[in-house]
Structure 1
Amino acid sequence: MRVIGITSYSAPSEYQSYEQPKPEHKKQTNIIIKVHAASINPIDVKKANDALKRVLEISFPYQIAHDCAGTVPEIGSRVTRCKIGDATGSWSEYVICSEENLALKPPSLSFADAASLPLAALTALQALRKFDGELSGKPAFIPAGLSGTGSYACQLAKNVFKSGKVITTVSTSKIPKVKGLLGDSTVGQSERFQTTYLHGQLLTLALQ
């Protein structure tokens, strides 16, 4: 099968496409995924170029990325959460994972959309869940509203955690792209949101 990976710490322009054997499920709870779409996150690039070498060691050859979506052609004998033919949700034709790390793809999501969701959305959800307090009806500031994690955090804060007002930042030229989608107030990065948008009201949550 074809994979995209590296044989030493590398920049994105040095990633290689090469052949390697298709994975085999050696554990009864393993699942093989035939990849239809995959995404990349900043942490994938940092792991590959040695920026995280002190805290996250990798061995070579190293296959790039983690998030993917595809269908299930093979499962271990003790897998119960999915069946052959299910759609799930890396940079390779096939990947292997444990059943506990897999979720079924809703029919309403495309494979491309599903592949872009896991790391960014879970990072946002975990951060909001760690907030020790009540966010319902109260203001929250979440910067970088057009980033992967930021866009999910804005929508989760408003629609799941019921924040009374979500304030986010983007570069001034991109404000029209997020009005009505992410925050109740969108702040250009050069603006002083403390005086322009809060009017003396205290923030309940500032997520960074």
Structure 2
Amino acid sequence: MKAIVQDDYGSADTLRLEEIPMPALGDDGVLVRIEAASVNAADWHLMRADPFFLRLAGFGLFAPKRRVPGADIAGRVEAVGKNVTRFRPGDEVFGDLSAHGWGAFAEYVCTSEEALAPKPSNVSFEEAAAVPMAAVTALQALRDRGRVRAGQRVLVNGASGGVGTFAVQIAKALGAEVTGVCSAGNLDLVRSLGADHVVDYTRVDVTRSGHEYDLILDAAAYRPVSDYRRALREGGTYLFVGGTTGALLRVALLGPWSGSKAMKMHAARPNAADLVALTALIEGGRVRPVIDRCYPLSRAPEAVRYVESRRARGKVVITRSAAAGPGQ
């Protein structure tokens, strides 16, 4: 089968298309023909081992431990092991492989049934592949860490990105009043996702606007996170879900001393139950994936490079189709 492989840490130039053996199907495995995968910020961070401590966290000290990158998939079940009970050949599935060996940038993958859920019936494989890591991150941050309730005020910074586009919609589904922060060119997109208010960060400093929020979800933390304390209500929470390494370290240092205005980090915990919860929102018309571009598998390095540029609106998807291209 064809797959993107990486043998050394570095830029997207270290990614290359190769023929590799088909994955072996064990008794507990599900063999999936991957129709589409999506690129997350986690992919380029792992590609570069940035921040450095990722090397110490089990991903490989001197080189990537897992040769085939990628977490998010959507596809069809080809075969199942004898111990698998939830799926059978022909089922359409989607999932996040990050807790089960990665390997999404390929034509096939063998993974655990725990990584998968039935694909939402009203979206394409490309749209389904855009969901898992980003949408689960947003769902858990808002529902579990932020405990968002109806009537609360939520600010989403980086509202036009992968996590941000889902966060705006999920916060609205939870009944919040949502303010989305993005660039001028993305205001209409964020408004179309249901944001009650949209802010161009190049013109307005939301930390000095006089408005206060119950929860700030920061998916684009590139400024001192302490600034956001000014925009939190007493008892409010700031959640870091994406941004620079420096911002992450500042949250880690400031968090224990943040007092009544909590400053926290959040990383997704992949699980099938939350994929099922998201499927209900998608099939109910309350959440829709936003796709900026699609690339064929052979051009996966370009897809990762584009996500690393931080210019993507929503998600970037990799497909099996040789005809896929930017904007398609």
The reply to whether TM is greater than 0.5 is: yes
Q: 1:93 aligns with which of 107, 121, 130?
A: 107
Identify the residue that residue 269 of structure 2 maps to in structure 1.
Answer: none
Aligned pair 1:169/2:181, yes or no?
yes
Distance 1:114 1:84 in 2: 19
Identify the residue that residue 33 of structure 1 maps to in structure 2.
Answer: 32
Identify the residue that residue 53 of structure 1 maps to in structure 2.
Answer: 55
Distance 2:166 2:80 in 1: 31
Which 10-residue stretch deviates more, 5-14 or 113-122?
Answer: 5-14
Please state whether the residue corresponding to 2:56 is helix, strand or coil.
Answer: coil
Two-structure CA RMSD over aligned residues (Å) = 1.8
1:156-199 CA-to-partner distances (Å, cap 9, x unmatched) read 1111x211x1001011232122223241100010303356583x
Identify the residue that residue 74 of structure 1 maps to in structure 2.
Answer: 79
1:17-47 CA-to-partner distances (Å, cap 9, x unmatched) read 1111101122x22100001111111111111
Contact 1:31 1:76 in 2 (8 A): yes
Please state whether the residue corresponding to 1:108 is helix, strand or coil.
Answer: coil
Contact 2:37 2:105 in 1 (8 A): yes
Q: 2:129 aligns with which of 112, 115, 120?
A: 115
Which 10-residue stretch deviates more, 52-61 or 119-128?
Answer: 52-61
Q: Could you list the runs of 5+ residues in structure 1 that have no partner in the other structure? A: none
Q: 1:138 aligns with which of 152, 155, 166?
A: 152
Distance 2:29 2:151 in 1: 43
Contact 1:4 1:17 in 2 (8 A): yes
Please state whether the residue corresponding to 2:186 is helix, strand or coil.
Answer: helix
Please state whether the residue corresponding to 1:62 is helix, strand or coil.
Answer: coil
1:116-153 CA-to-partner distances (Å, cap 9, x unmatched) read 11000011111112335552111111111111111111
Cα distance change of structure 1 residues 79 and 48 upon mapping to structure 2, 3 Å threshold: same
Q: 2:213 aligns with which of 197, 203, 208?
A: 203
Give the AA of the match of 2:134.
Answer: A
Q: How far is the alpha carbon of 1:100 from its aligned partner?
A: 0.8
Aligned pair 1:187/2:199, yes or no?
yes
Distance 2:181 2:132 in 1: 23
Contact 1:87 1:104 in 2 (8 A): yes
Contact 1:135 1:204 in 2 (8 A): no
Give the AA of the match of 2:133.
Answer: L
Identify the residue that residue 153 of structure 1 maps to in structure 2.
Answer: 167
Give the AA of the match of 2:2.
Answer: R
- Structure-to-structure mapping, 1:11-22, within 5 angstroms: 11-22=11-22
Please state whether the residue corresponding to 1:123 is helix, strand or coil.
Answer: helix
Cα distance change of structure 1 residues 11 and 204 upon mapping to structure 2, 3 Å threshold: same
Higher-Rg structure is 1
Q: Could you list the runs of 5+ residues in structure 2 that have no partner in the other structure? A: 95-103, 219-328
Give the paired residue count.
Answer: 202
Contact 1:73 1:85 in 2 (8 A): yes
Distance 2:28 2:194 in 1: 39
Identify the residue that residue 190 of structure 2 maps to in structure 1.
Answer: 178
Cα distance change of structure 1 residues 137 and 37 upon mapping to structure 2, 3 Å threshold: same
Identify the residue that residue 43 of structure 2 maps to in structure 1.
Answer: 44
Distance 2:22 2:86 in 1: 23
Please state whether the residue corresponding to 2:17 is helix, strand or coil.
Answer: strand
Distance 2:112 2:65 in 1: 21
Give the AA of the match of 2:59.
Answer: E
Contact 1:142 1:154 in 2 (8 A): yes
